[in-house]
Amino acid sequence: MLQGIIFREKLISASSTTTMAADYEDTGGFYFRCKGAGDVAYVPINNAVSEVVIATFEATESWKDAAPVYCRNILKTGTTATGIYAGEEE
């Protein structure tokens, strides 16, 4: 669960208004938020790569409004949310 401050964020979709161009992976783990609501297909940090979760997320403008999810992958297939940012906690 998000405990500290996000000190680095990276836009992982092609732009703030499009869905993902490719899968995103960071095996060290990351949080994410979406500027556009929709489904996100992700693998939680302690799940096997084959244990994909698809959940619907609200649009958020900042990390303080984001539902904290810590994962290792976000998959292009199954993801409809837009403007997805990956963030690392301090």
The three-state DSSP-derived secondary structure of 24-79 is: EEEEEEEEEEEEECEEEEEEECCCCCCCCEEEEECCCCCHHHCCCCEEEEEECCCC
pLDDT tens digit sequence for 57-87 = 999 988 888 878 899 999 999 999 999 999 9
State the pTM of this model. Answer: 0.87
pLDDT tens for each residue of 26-47: 999 999 999 999 999 999 999 9
